[in-house]
Amino acid sequence: MLLICRKSFYLALFTKYFMINYPKIILKHGKEAPVQRFHPWVFSGAIFKVEGNPKEGDIVEVLSGSRDYLATGHYLKGNIAVKLFSFQKATIDFTFWKAKINAAYELRKNLGLTDIPSNNAYRLVFTEGDSLPGLIIDFYNGAAVIQCQSPGMNKHKPEFIQALQEIYGDKLTAIYDKSIDNQQSAVGSHHPASSIQHPVTITETGHKFLVDIEKGQKTGFFLDQRSNRMFAQYYARNRKVLNAFCYSGAFSVYALKGGATMVHSVDSSKKAIEWTKENLTLNDIPENSHEEIIADIKNFLPQTSEMYDMIILDPPAFAKHHNVSHNALQAYIHINAEAMKKLNPGGILFTFSCSQSVSREMFRSAIQTAAINTGKDVKIIHQLSQGPDHPVSIFHPEGEYLKGLILVI
């Protein structure tokens, strides 16, 4: 009993004098419930008082109106004032960050996403889904790409790099930093400087793709669509396919490997079309089975005389903020209506929204409106989301950003 009391005394003494005293965010009385339900965002309107003069990106502790500890996170300017990464009081050091990243790695390992030759690319860290809001890490066949999307995560980048080196060991050939700086532009650098090869060749479900980490969108490749591309491969057999917003042609490769008779890949970017051609060649696709077209799909669909048996619509986000979601819905209605008009009877439409501010219900309503406007009989055969390497915390439904439907028209 005496020994236990002494241990408790010294633990309390250590906590009092040696744990870092972070600035405090005091919530208004009655505003604690979302944090107590483990939602990782604290909105500015819930804050009663800020103590310790934190700067943007600083670590802060969030306390209830009665000053009970609730969570720890990064302080931000704007409507979301704190993004929380821990609901237990802790010293935030290298050991803390490594444990978080290692937990993310172990999840992917348990899901069968790591150490597989036929699938050597995956998202290692997915922001709130891995309790690391503001941090993305993708793994491309030995090359890790870090995107720190907040000032707070940017401060801990050296610790993330060290953690990756210790977790992966010799499996890690290079680290590329593609974070966002204060001017919202990408900052590219290598760790170690000379070891990364551009582009990186990855394998996804046995198909090969070139990933231009430096010049490509996001981290270079849309890993979130892997399982959905497998659906495209399954349904493409004996069909003429249009891959709209094709980017680097991943859906095109899957469709042709699935037995599509012809695939038209359309994108407004000349570079995207070049990447598409390279990936089709890399996968030994016969030249007479595909055609690449540089065009704005919003103009291409109403102007083309071609009819298709399957169309894939995977546009960029039409809305990044809630105040423009109405315009986004109108865009989804228009483009899906045009696609429905270009499908032969019994045709299949893959349609997606990656706009976080557009809910699944809103997106489905937009597709319903497109069906009404075109007078088409539309049936849903699958409802899709992002892959398992993009997990959604049950406490943060906003993390389910990718919504998809497979429709028979």
- Please report the DSSP string for 10-59 in residue order: HHHHHHHHHS----EEEEPTT--HHHHTT-SEEEGGGEEEEES-PPTT-E
**CB neighbours of 118 closer than 8 A, spacing ≥ 6?**
203, 205, 206
Amino acid 47: pLDDT: 97
Report the 10 Å Cβ neighbour count for 50: 14
Diameter over CA atoms, the chain: 87
- Residue 295 pairs in a beta bridge with none
Amino acid 16: pLDDT: 47
Report the 10 Å Cβ neighbour count for 204: 21
Amino acid 180: pLDDT: 72
pLDDT digits (tens, 9 = 90+) for 294-340: 999 999 999 999 999 999 999 988 756 555 567 889 999 999 999 99
pLDDT beyond 90 at 239: yes
pLDDT digits (tens, 9 = 90+) for 130-187: 999 999 999 999 999 999 999 999 999 999 999 999 999 999 999 999 987 643 344 4
Report the 10 Å Cβ neighbour count for 185: 9
- Average pLDDT (9-21) is 54
Mean pLDDT, rounded, of the chain: 91
Q: Give the span between the Cα atoms of 29 and 46, in whole angstroms.
A: 9
Single-letter residue type at 28: K
User: Is the CB of residue 149 less than 8 Å from the CB of residue 251?
Assistant: no
- Would you call the peptide bond into 151 cis, given omega within 30 degrees of 0 as the criterion? no
Q: Give the helix ranges, DSSP H, for 49-135.
A: 94-110
Amino acid 1: pLDDT: 44
- Average pLDDT (75-96) is 97
C-alpha distances in Å from residue 309, one per residue of 103, 236, 296, 392: 43, 9, 21, 33
| Nearest-10 Cα torsion for 158, 163, 164, 166 | 130
Q: Residue 71 is encoded by which pair of tokens? A: 């969570």
Q: Residue 72 is encoded by which pair of tokens? A: 């720890």
Amino acid 318: pLDDT: 76
Q: Give the span between the Cα atoms of 319 and 322, in whole angstroms.
A: 7
Amino acid 181: pLDDT: 62
pLDDT beyond 50 at 7: no
Residue 1, H or E segment: none
Amino acid 193: pLDDT: 41
* Residue percentage of the chain with pLDDT more than 90: 85
- Average pLDDT (99-103) is 98
- Would you call the peptide bond into 192 cis, given omega within 30 degrees of 0 as the criterion? yes
* Predicted model pTM: 0.90
Report the 10 Å Cβ neighbour count for 259: 14
pLDDT digits (tens, 9 = 90+) for 37-52: 999 999 999 999 999 9
Band (pLDDT 50/70/90 cuts) for residue 357 is confident
* Residue entry with tokens 């706009």: 355
pLDDT digits (tens, 9 = 90+) for 187-212: 455 555 445 667 999 999 999 999 99
More confident residue, 293 or 327: 293
- Average pLDDT (12-41) is 84
